[in-house]
Amino acid sequence: MSILNKLKDNIVGSVTAGVSSGGKSNMRLSLANLPLGGILGKSGDGRTVMQPQVLSSNPASELDWRVKLSLPPAASGFYKEGGIMAPLQQTGGFTWPITPTIIIQHSAQYTPQEPVHVNYPYYAYNNSRVDAMSIIGNFPVQNAQEGAYWIAGLHFLRSVSKMFYGPGGNQGNPPQILRLNGYGEHILKDVPVIVEQVTIELRESVDYIAVPVDKQTKAEKKVFEGGPPSVSSRQSKAQERTSGAVTSTRVPTDSVFTVLVQPVYSRKRLKDKFNLKDFAAGRLAKDGFI
């Protein structure tokens, strides 16, 4: 009976402490040996110290180890010129907000040599390669700001899988080579990749929220907001309501972005940069070799 009484006293004490410190939620945290708020090492803004924000104003931060597809530093266009992709400027490219599944596969090709009257063939080395990588990640959306980022990411992936066709300085060029980053310097650091396939899963069993999308550029906005001298302020506002400058798009609160990327290296870069000794020592990871 003494053991039962002691156990009873411990349970009553835990329940009393939980109720006195803030109700049933704190009581459950106390019984589970978790701190109040359920967050270990909480910083001043309520996030853990090593947890990056979904939309960060400092995309070059060393703490931001999330998986990201971005343009090379010297590239122009796409999200760097604003428009519908403008939200991607806050993260310096398209970033998966939740850690995705990445399948990385390395292959070594051997050609079998099969002389007659032998039990085992001989294998002659042919070449090695890094196969296409699948990046599969959920993309939750909780508000209009994240919805605008979702739309920007969708349009970015649509665009970088297409060649430069039509008027423009890069007319006739193949699709843009991107940079893949994630998890720090020794896993994925500025890996040059091309996008081979993009799959967006729009589910039927989730909610869709309305996200306003501004289709005008900054120059168009300036002309539109100023209006011609003969148009009054009231007429200008009426035109703004009926011109379709801001449209509403339905965005799923949860979806899956799947991107198939292929690492590519130029012949000159392989000749000038790569050697197996430095690669094995980890000195070439920062140069995008995986």
pTM: 0.68
φ, ψ (nearest 5 deg) of residue 281 = -80, -5
Q: What is the pLDDT along the chain (290 residues), one digit of tens a residue?
A: 555 565 556 555 544 444 444 566 666 656 555 555 545 444 444 444 434 445 544 555 567 789 999 999 888 888 888 788 889 988 889 999 999 999 999 999 999 999 999 999 999 999 999 999 999 999 999 999 999 999 999 999 999 998 888 777 777 788 899 999 999 889 999 999 999 999 999 988 899 999 987 654 444 344 323 333 333 334 444 444 444 456 788 999 999 999 999 999 999 989 998 999 999 998 998 888 99
The one-letter amino acid code at 53 reads: Q
User: At what angle are helices 24-31 and 2-20 packed, to 10 degrees?
Assistant: 130
Q: Are 60 and 84 in contact (CB under 8 A)?
A: no
SS3 118: coil
